[in-house]
Amino acid sequence: MLTFKIVYSRMKFCRYLINRSFSRKFSSNSRESVKKGLVLGVYESESSSIGVELTHAAGLVNNQTENKLINLLHLSGPIKQGKCRVFHGICEEFPSIAVVGIGPKSLAYNELELVDEKKEAVRAAAAVGSKALREAGSRLVELDPCSDEEAVAEGASLALWEYEDFKEKKKHKPYVDLCLFGPSNGEASEQWERGLKLGSGQNLARWLMETPANHMTPTIFAKHALEMLGKSGIGVDVHDKAWAERNKMGSFLSVGRGSDEPSLFLELSYMAGEKNSKPVALVGKGVTFDSGGISIKPSAGMDAMRGDMGGAACTFAAIKTIASLNLPVNVKGFIPLCENMPSGKATKPGDVVTAMNGKTIQVDNTDAEGRLILADALCYAHTFNPKFIIDIATLTGAIDVALGSGATGAFTNSEELWRRFSCAGAKTGDRLWRMPLWNHFSRQVTESHLADINNVGKHGRSAGACTAAAFLKEFITCDHWMHLDIAGVMLNKDEVPYLCKGFSGRPTRTIVEFISQSIA
């Protein structure tokens, strides 16, 4: 086992924690000196003469300002869902007020869309309002609860985050502190804090994914785990190559052969549940850069392969968020870390390697490496007799072709897991779509010329996401397993209105919500 000297200063993750902390507090004096802004919501209303209905908070502000808000809305016209209008000079306390459209008051869970549309509308409204006020110069933004404090906090905290570690300070977006508008209320404050922690967790996953690969090697990733997770009361064991060799993880070790960066295996432990309670196992693909190896990728877009450790980032962030929420549950995290690079030492197409469970694997495509490292991680996870096993991986381009950024592809042998995850995704707005896990696909990977199993389907790219999941199923004996292929949701362009362009950190919040619901 490796041990690291932890460096507490001048580390990028320290700056992340300082600058992007979800709960940075101002003193009363500093709050008074900071330019404040206020986000208020309005509903669409056909019965109203001005086309909108004020939320409770907006109504209070309107009454306190002698109907100035209503009069301005009457002059400027209705505000559509997801849109924003900034008014100045309505009241002295808030020089700038952003009025945001939440959409119809009747929005609720949409069974066909598999999402709570009201929560998504609130997240989007909080996001657009917060960003508009930042542009207007506000450095302290108070937000209308909009009857859903958690969603408001998520939308605002996710929208204001951007990766700026390597930009000049003068190019950084100004920091904005967030707080809830209105009198303090115990339940409302609790939901607000929960939303901030969920947003912070997803932002952490985004930060890990965005960091350039030369600043996020397996060794550096492990150091971040020791520093950030260790401080949160999470056990962190960093296993080296010799440990993996003793555990006969030939499949995992084959992927990193071509790199000068040593492969590592992280084992995370958050044990806050009952002593004899089975843990939930989270397994995250941790390829910190994927060139494709000998089966090298095209150069166009290869820079995005720094995010091929998205499964590891989500696992890391989800466990940290679970700890911050003090959830009474036992969780084990397993993260195989490596680089997939071409060299004279690299695995070659046609090579045969042996996994921890003794199965031999014919490696016909070295760019299908994620399933190779997950195979051994899944085998090792089984040794802890987990209640559930959830693996998260940017596994296939095929899932992007199938689902795009609309949903994470979910493959499972458990109806119970699917039901719970589907409910969690509906609440977080980060949906899953169930994909087939049939023997039809298993036969395409188990009919191998040289070994027990092939790392690609015999029909090539056809049903690539399904054959990849079928490969993983060969290493599963647990009755409750789900594979989440997140390659399609890895990046955000403009599909999710409360996320900026770049790596998304999806589905971190859905994983946390699933575990929260599992212990409810």
Active site residues: 297, 371
> CA-to-CA distance for 364 and 463, rounded, in angstroms?
17
* Whole-number Å distance between alpha carbons of 212 and 227: 19
- The gap from C-alpha 108 to its chain's centroid, in whole angstroms, comes to 24
- Buried-state track 25-60, b at ≥16 Cβ within 10 A, e below 16: eeeeeeeeeeebbbbbbbbbeeebebbbbbbebbeb
Token reading at 16: 């992340």
Cα dihedral 362→368→370→376 (10° resolution): 0
State the Rg of the chain over Cα: 24
Rounded alpha-carbon distances, angstroms, from residue 358 to 60, 353, 395, 409, 475: 68, 10, 23, 28, 10
Q: What is the spatial distance between Cα 305 and Cα 303, in angstroms, rounded to a whole number? A: 5
DSSP category for residue 225: I
> How deeply is 269 buried, as exposed, middle or buried, from its count of CB atoms within 10 A (0-12, 13-18, 19+)?
middle
Give the span between the Cα atoms of 227 and 434, in whole angstroms. Answer: 36
Task: Name beta bridge partners: 85.
Answer: 99
Phi, psi of 434 (to 5 degrees): -75, 130
Structural contact between residues 105 and 413, judged by C-beta atoms closer than 8 angstroms:
no
